[in-house]
Amino acid sequence: MMEFFTWQSLLALVLGALYGSLFGAIPGLTATLAVALFIPVAFFLDPIVALPAIISISAVAIYAGDVGSIVAKIPGTPASAAYLEELSRVAKRKGPFYGLGLCAMSSATGGIIGTLLLIALATTMASIAKNFSSFEYFWIAILGLTAGVFATGGSTLKAVVSLLLGILFSTVGIDPTLGFPRFEFGQPDLLSGLNYIVAMIGLFGFSEVLEHVYRRAKGTDALSVSDDSPGRMFFSLPWIPIIKRKWMVLRSSLLGVLVGFLPGAGADIGSWVSSSVEKMTHRSEGDAEDEVIVIAGTSSNNAAVASAWVPSLALGLPGDTITAIVLGVFLMKGITPGPLLFEQQPELIWSLYLTFLLANLIMLPVFGYLTARMASWLIRIPLDILLSAIAGVCVVGAYVINNSSFDILIMTFMGIIAFGLRRGGFPLAQVVLGMVLGPILEQNFMVSAIKSRWDIMSFFDRPIALVLMALTIVIIMVGIRTQRLRKSTD
Amino acid sequence: MSLTISKNKLGGLLCLLLGIAVFLGSRQFPPLDDGYPGPGLFPSIVGVCLTIAGLVLFLQHLPKSTNEGNPQERPRPLALASVALILLGAYFGIAHLGLLPIVAVVILGTGLLIGGDIKWIIAASLITTALVYVLFSLILGVPL
């Protein structure tokens, strides 16, 4: 373990956090992109230096994605979209330092819980994950979609329509199971499908600009900056709701860990499931409920970031896109992931655990505060100036992902669709959820159906699948009951 | 109240039409060799679900929930269409001018349509473009 405490690895940790905080705060630039751009540098570094940097980049960049939610209502990751509206309202009421402090402290708590569980259960969890087949993944996707439908405070029917639109968008391009091109309208740029980051920029960022151009209602969305000291707002006050709801934080982190360790599921679904569960179980709307949902989503999100490393380390299967890149780094360095890794390279494994703890305990709060400072500066800019700059950033964000002008067209199209959906009172976050879970649902449905020779009963044969199906039914029942209670209290 | 209900009905109708179009479009995809459903199955299920949801939305009388009439609101559909046209121009113009001038034009055009002060809009346009150049071109090496 002492190998970790070299000046090189600690410097990598700090520089990684700085890089991640700057990268994650810019709409369109994601944690995955930050890690991907770091790979050429990682190639020349020792794994004991490269891995701390990657962990630090991903932990801080995922948190920094919430800066976009506060400043421009553009979530940095699909996970952030799960609690976008709630975070935006919290920041509007109590200021950006409190909003981002709540995210940073919950993320750090979730990340630490996730890491401790990772230390205790890594090999056991990996062996459970090995038993998951396409049937179980199909039910996981159904579970996530069901939770997403009932997560909305408004009309369930409109949430279903938004979700279906998202799933429909996910069918554009090459079919993930059979390789057949669909809905590409003869346009080669559509063969690879609609990138959900481009879609998110259009759905949340550009539609916000369109909304203001249409209404010309100036200054109505300004955030308040509290007179209280920024340090107190960021570091101290957010602990009050977190400690008050410690069991909820633990529950959300556990949910994040459970979902995150499934290969391919990752932090996004963890965040959605946790925040949806809290949305369903809280009847009253208001300040406290918004904070609860933000805490649930962010703690679950970072807990899943840690547990997504389990299938990568123990089975060689990526838990999410970041760990997929990390597997590439392992192979580049001649490290073979698998159960033997824990026996053959214990110093590497322990340095990973330690890095996760340091990244969540020190890097996330410190660099989180820096990004909150940046956000507080940005929100002082008059709304009309900020919105016109956001329009430019939307163009840049959409273009640089693939260096493709076609993505600007997609972003504009998504912005116009989102403007129409907003006007009609349809939720936007469910569109993103549909785009993320659609391919997982389709691929696992088709694979399961083909391998069982279209015996639909095979979806109900396996015990874990049955447990997931039962959970889905429970979510539907709780969701319907909550909707009824909401209506009766209204 | 009647305006909101008609919005729901319009939404329902559009959803219904989209669902039918998706269902018919997905029928064009070939089935698997042994006659089992192929790549069209999943989109056709989505199409059917959209059609049903659209139909229910069209027939259902949902209560007024969002977009309550704001007295300060002055709807400007022409300004909205102009922003969309600027972005369309950006798509065509980027191949000839590159990203940076296009970003400057988008910020300038949007700012003017929102109704911002011209001096500040020009400043925002220049500063944002310069930051984009420094970050993407100089630091990250992205060809703009």
Are B36 and A393 inside 8 Å of each other by CB?
no
Those of residues 141-160 in A touching chain B at CB distance below 8 A are: 154-155, 157-158, 160
Contacts of B15 in chain A (CB under 8 A): 161
Residues of chain A with pLDDT under 70: 1-4, 27-29, 37, 40, 43, 125-127, 129-130, 151-153, 217-228, 262-268, 282-287, 315-321, 339, 486-490
Q: Give me the pLDDT at residue A57, please.
A: 87
In this complex, which of B32, B56, B128 lies closest to A392 when CB atoms are compared? B128
Give the start-to-end residue ranges of the domains of chain B: 2-59, 77-139
Q: Give me the pLDDT at residue A267, please.
A: 67
Are B43 and A171 inside 8 Å of each other by CB?
yes
- The pLDDT tens digits of the residues spanning A75-113 come to 777 778 788 888 888 888 888 888 889 998 998 898 898
Those of residues 398-457 in A touching chain B at CB distance below 8 A are: 399-400, 403, 405-406, 408-409, 411-412, 415-416, 419, 422-426, 442, 445-446, 450, 454
The angle subtended at Cα A37 by Cα A33 and Cα A38, nearest 5°, is 120
> Hey, is the C-beta of A187 within 8 angstroms of any chain B C-beta?
no
Q: How many CB pairs under 8 A join A and B?
A: 187
> Hey, is the C-beta of A174 within 8 angstroms of any chain B C-beta?
no
Q: Give me the pLDDT at residue A221, please.
A: 53
pLDDT at B3 > cutoff 70: no
> Hey, is the C-beta of B28 within 8 angstroms of any chain A C-beta?
no
Does B69 or A93 have the greater pLDDT score?
A: A93
> Hey, is the C-beta of B91 within 8 angstroms of any chain A C-beta?
yes
Are B114 and A442 inside 8 Å of each other by CB?
no
Mean pLDDT of chain A: 81
Are A389 and B84 inside 8 Å of each other by CB?
no
Q: Give me the pLDDT at residue A408, please.
A: 92
Q: Residue A370's domain spans which residues?
A: 2-489
Does B61 or B24 have the greater pLDDT score?
A: B24
Nearest residue of chain B to residue A444 (CA atoms): B42
Q: Give me the pLDDT at residue B68, please.
A: 47
Q: Give me the pLDDT at residue A129, please.
A: 66
Contacts of A406 in chain B (CB under 8 A): 91
Q: Give me the pLDDT at residue B1, please.
A: 45
Q: Give me the pLDDT at residue A254, please.
A: 87
> Domain count of chain A?
1
